[in-house]
Chains A and B, each alone.
Chain A
Amino acid sequence: MMKRLIYIAIFSLLLFSCKEDIQHAEKIDSYPEIYPDYIGVTIPMNIAPLNFTVDSSDYSSLELKILAGNEVAFQEEYKNNIDIPQSAWQDLLAKNCSDSIQFEVSVKKADQWFQYKPFSMYVSPDSIDYGIVYRLISPGYETYSKMGIYERELSGYNQRPLFENTQVTKSCVNCHTFNRGNPQQQSIHIRGAQGATIIKTNGETKILESANDSILASCMYPFWHPSGKYIAYSTNKVRQTFHTTATDLIETFDEASDLLVYDIENNTLLTSDLISGSSFETFPAFSADGKTLYFASAAHKDLPRELKETFYNICSISFDPETGIFGNKVDTVVNLAIDRKSATLPRASYDGKYLMYNKINYGSFPMYHTDADLWLLDLNSGETRPLNEVNSAYSDGYHNWSSNSRWFVFESRRDGDLFARPYFSHIDENGNVGKPFMLPQQNPDEYYQDLFYAYNTVEFVTGKVPFNARKVEKELMQPDREEMLFERK
């Protein structure tokens, strides 16, 4: 008994002396360098714990204190990676909704504690969707190896494969999309000898052959019509060429491209001369009300010779969902060609307020352009501006809106390597955009360092995606494909 008391006394003394140490920590007048950079970000109240590491190797331990108001809401000592328990985190976010929480980081170097300037995160009351669906692919050139489409819940770290290309040999899986994040309405492409376009809507599955003699190539870059009756596609003759200098390695371009709208019920691809002529049209997206089809368009050029002279604008054409008839004129919504720049990848917010797009120096593919930035067009005022709050010196693009239009996700190579990672940013009702945060992981440093796949085409989903990969595999192995009909209106 006596022995035990002595142990307790020694332990208490040690603990006390440690606390004593940290209370006398030397203050550092700068924020800690943390990975990922979560300093000053706006986060949804239903996001997984934003764990991080301090970018320094010369400390023996570190301490995290989370302050809510003036109270210490969480305190823990770590060796390196800060790993906040999920229940404590959720509790913390729930209690501090619409408020900021402060993160106080201290590090111990050679028996001396140093305390960094506390940083904050703002907990937005706007919730984010259930999860995201994305493709993981090695950043390659023309060939590809293992890849898959995965679903990841955002309130935790669970990732599950929806379909991996080990299931159908030599296949390429891509262009997964959902109608405003609705997992019940999905479209996915599988390319290769057993390839098909799979469309699931209202519990019905269609296995389609999306290429035919009337169109340039297979249908790609799908975008659902809000009614769920149509899917807009472009059909592109995609080519690649390669730079000789170190900054940008790859250039992807369309030798030719047209737009199509697929009428699901009548199994017919609809188009008009205005969107399938000699000029390039790509990356279609419907407006919130489904009455306008936005797309990127450029005058026809001899590619790749004139690639650096190919400038896209964001254009639109009206669309009548009742009849499937396009309007008789194309409007230019964003004209960057006039400044010898390109505007591409239009994505209208579902609340009808904004149109987000990519600005790049030329061409239509932003992913390998270090100059790719996100821009926002206010559809009411017509005012357009760069999203300086989120843009980096690296490629930022392939954005998508959450179902409530309060969050957007985009891919960025700001880590400085070849691998694109998803970032999320908040936009409030007045159009104020928050600093983006990287997709959280249990141990982000280790996870992203070890991950040799890039995130590709990140889409929000409002719930778990019902996807029976084994059934799809069996269906793909069958030769039967429903041919899409074609109609020029």
Chain B
Amino acid sequence: MMTKPKRIFKFFPGLAFWGIVVLFFGLVYPYHVAFHEQYQLFLFSGQYFIELLSIPGGGADYIARFLTQFFLFPWLGAGIIASVLTLIQILFLRIIRLFTHSNSLVNTIVSFVPSIAIMAFLCDENAMLSLPIALLFALSASLTCMQIPKNTTRSICGVLLFPVLFWIAGSASIIFVALLLLHEILLNQYKFSIPKWIAVFSVFVLYVYAVLLASQLLVSYPLSRVLNGINYYRYPDFMPFIKNVALLLFVSISFLTILIHRVIKKEQMIWASIVLFLLVFGGGTGLIISKVDTAKEEAFAYNYMARMHQWNAIIQKAEKNPPVSSLASTCVNLALAKTGQLGNHMFQFPQYDKLESLLPKYQRDMMTPLFAGEVYYHLGMVNTAHRLAVEAMESIPDYQKSARCYKRIAEVSIINGNYKTARKYLNVLEETLFYRKWAKRAETLLFNDESVNKHPEFGSLRKNRIDEDFFFNADEQDIILALLLKKNSTNRVAFEYLMAYKLLERDITGFIKFFSLGDGISYFSIPVHFQEALTVLWSSQNKPLNEIPWEIDTRISNNMKAFIAEYNSVTDKKLLADKFGDTYWYYLLCEKDNK
């Protein structure tokens, strides 16, 4: 019987790996995890289940999508990913133990290799959980088959199970055939000669190909996609190299392990284990580090926080590390506007591509419209928010739908009073796990204008909508912002955006033209950057600052004098960044547009 310390030691590697993966995805990559959830719509409905099961790999997709819905909570997602990867390691360890008839440490160490490779695959935000789930199916089936003692039963089981497995797990089930063949060759109970094995191998290759071809009669996908795995990766016309490497590793590592056990003597195994440990975990760490994309993680983090309305968290994050992309900067500007600080603090943070940080232009991808859509929604331009939600969803390359976008479409439909459309989308959201409650609540608002008008979010957004019909023009958004203010003079977010728009355009004349539109908004004092712009305007007219008709803080007028003095004295204007980098003057005169 195994002693307690021995049992702990037995589970320790797996547990340690699980812990490392959880910490990695929970601390380093949490928003990559959450990123997945917004691009799917898992439904507890028979139709959804049948739809997925009608394609090869649909069973694995179904389970993967079921699990992915929990990625809304990144730590939970990290736990799920870690559990799946650890299960793969455990199953693979049991398989190579069968191959080597050994419980050696070497087996334990190398059993982590495929899981690490799949972990590296999952570092790509477009790598789907379907592949590791499919591998779980394939490895479980392999192990089950290998443990059948009777040769004929085992062979029949292998032959019959493959098409079923292929339909459930997709093309990753090819490793089932490969591992089974390897097992049979090693066992060699049939006492076949090498030519006979080559013949058997060829027959199996033909059999696999026949199954793949047969699937073509049932699905509307080209053979290449079926072979690559229909839903292992979000983009249908691309598959990362690491995916095929990971699949190959199951066979090559098995082969290598067998070789090690046959070549290396028992007393040398400890050295082999040490070397392998260093190689696997050193190489693994290097591989994972090479796959980590911190810029994307930052953008995903801001996107997640904006979605969750975590305005203060966005600002705090930006204060710690200024955003490095215009999309992240978009979220920071929105958070500042939502908390009434855009006019005071926007130049503390980088502003990229002139207006792109404020109102990003539509791009045909699934990311940008989500960022931009949040801005338009909170401004009250709900039709544009609707369009961007639809565009983002329709841009999802694997043709999935998005719970986040469905929610936004339902929200806008409620605001616009298009209740029938809203109901259609709410009915679907009621079939989800995490949006059901919200959908049920929202449903009570349908066909009830009074309740919508009283709703804290929908009511105020309804009030903010422009009455006048005109065509949206991305190049004339200042006019649209002004119309928003014309509709509701207390729309503070719109006012701050309009002012920021003119400031970023370096259009002081335009700034002053629209400045009075903010008369309906109660400010304790004129926001700092607006004061800075007003001082520029006044100074440009060669008038003394003490005669300026607006209430300008003495600190700001003094600061401006200091800025002008230093600006005139230095040739390299970038030297002013330390002292004046967070002012509008610096942006206006010293900063070239960030690209």
Partners in one complex: yes
Residues in chain A near residue B480, CB distance under 8 A: 244
Q: In whole angstroms, how far apart are the Cα atoms of A418 and B422 in the complex?
A: 10
Q: In whole angstroms, how far apart are the Cα atoms of A450 and B46 in the complex?
A: 12
A244 B468 Cβ-Cβ under 8 A = yes
Asked if B83 is at the interface of the complex by the 8 Å CB criterion, the answer is no
Q: In whole angstroms, how far apart are the Cα atoms of A102 and B254 in the complex?
A: 73
Q: In whole angstroms, how far apart are the Cα atoms of A88 and B247 in the complex?
A: 56
A244 B383 Cβ-Cβ under 8 A = yes
Q: A241-B472, A246-B417, A473-B222 in contact; A145/B394 too (CB < 8 A)?
A: yes
Q: In whole angstroms, how far apart are the Cα atoms of A452 and B471 in the complex?
A: 26
Residues in chain B near residue A166, CB distance under 8 A: 220-221, 225, 236, 399
A241 B391 Cβ-Cβ under 8 A = no
B386 A145 Cβ-Cβ under 8 A = no
Over the window 338-369 of chain A, the binary record of Cβ atoms lying under 8 Å from chain B Cβ atoms (1 yes, 0 no) is 00000000000000000000000000000000
A245 B468 Cβ-Cβ under 8 A = yes
Q: A143-B394, A241-B472 in contact; A167/B401 too (CB < 8 A)?
A: no
B471 A241 Cβ-Cβ under 8 A = yes
Q: In whole angstroms, how far apart are the Cα atoms of A246 and B469 in the complex?
A: 9
A137-154: which residues lie under 8 A (CB-CB) from chain B?
138-146, 148
Residues in chain B near residue A109, CB distance under 8 A: none
Residues in chain A near residue B465, CB distance under 8 A: 245-246
A450 B420 Cβ-Cβ under 8 A = no
A397-416: which residues lie under 8 A (CB-CB) from chain B?
415-416
Q: How many residues of A contact B (CB 8 A)?
A: 41
B472 A242 Cβ-Cβ under 8 A = yes
CB distance from B445 to the nearest CB of A (A): 16
Over the window 143-183 of chain A, the binary record of Cβ atoms lying under 8 Å from chain B Cβ atoms (1 yes, 0 no) is 11110100000000000010110111110000000000000
B416-453: which residues lie under 8 A (CB-CB) from chain A?
416-418, 420-421, 424, 427-428
Q: How many residues of B contact A (CB 8 A)?
A: 41
Residues in chain B near residue A450, CB distance under 8 A: 47
CB distance from B46 to the nearest CB of A (A): 11
Q: A246-B383, A416-B420, A473-B222 in contact; A140/B394 too (CB < 8 A)?
A: yes
Residues in chain A near residue B473, CB distance under 8 A: 241
Q: In whole angstroms, how far apart are the Cα atoms of A473 and B224 in the complex?
A: 12
Q: In whole angstroms, how far apart are the Cα atoms of A47 and B384 in the complex?
A: 42
Residues in chain A near residue B391, CB distance under 8 A: 140-143
Residues in chain B near residue A140, CB distance under 8 A: 390-391, 394
Q: In whole angstroms, how far apart are the Cα atoms of A145 and B398 in the complex?
A: 8
The 4 A-B pairs with the shortest beta carbon distances in the complex, nearest first, are: A246-B416, A416-B420, A146-B399, A164-B220
B418 to A, closest residue via Cβ:
A246
Q: In whole angstroms, how far apart are the Cα atoms of A418 and B386 in the complex?
A: 12
A474 to B, closest residue via Cβ:
B222
Over the window 462-478 of chain A, the binary record of Cβ atoms lying under 8 Å from chain B Cβ atoms (1 yes, 0 no) is 00000001100100010
Asked if B466 is at the interface of the complex by the 8 Å CB criterion, the answer is yes
Q: In whole angstroms, how far apart are the Cα atoms of A141 and B362 in the complex?
A: 12
Asked if A227 is at the interface of the complex by the 8 Å CB criterion, the answer is no
Asked if A439 is at the interface of the complex by the 8 Å CB criterion, the answer is no
User: Apart from A142-B364, A244-B383, A246-B418, what are 8 other A-B pairs with CB-CB below 8 Å?
Assistant: A138-B394, A142-B391, A145-B395, A170-B236, A416-B421, A418-B421, A470-B216, A473-B222
Residue in contact with A243 in the complex, picked from B222, B394, B472, CB distance below 8 Å: B472
Over the window 296-307 of chain A, the binary record of Cβ atoms lying under 8 Å from chain B Cβ atoms (1 yes, 0 no) is 000000001001
Asked if A417 is at the interface of the complex by the 8 Å CB criterion, the answer is yes
A147 to B, closest residue via Cβ:
B399
Q: Which of A145, A163, A164, A244 gathers the greatest number of chain B CB atoms within 10 Å?
A: A244
A143 B222 Cβ-Cβ under 8 A = no
Q: A244-B472, A452-B401 in contact; A161/B420 too (CB < 8 A)?
A: no
Asked if B547 is at the interface of the complex by the 8 Å CB criterion, the answer is no
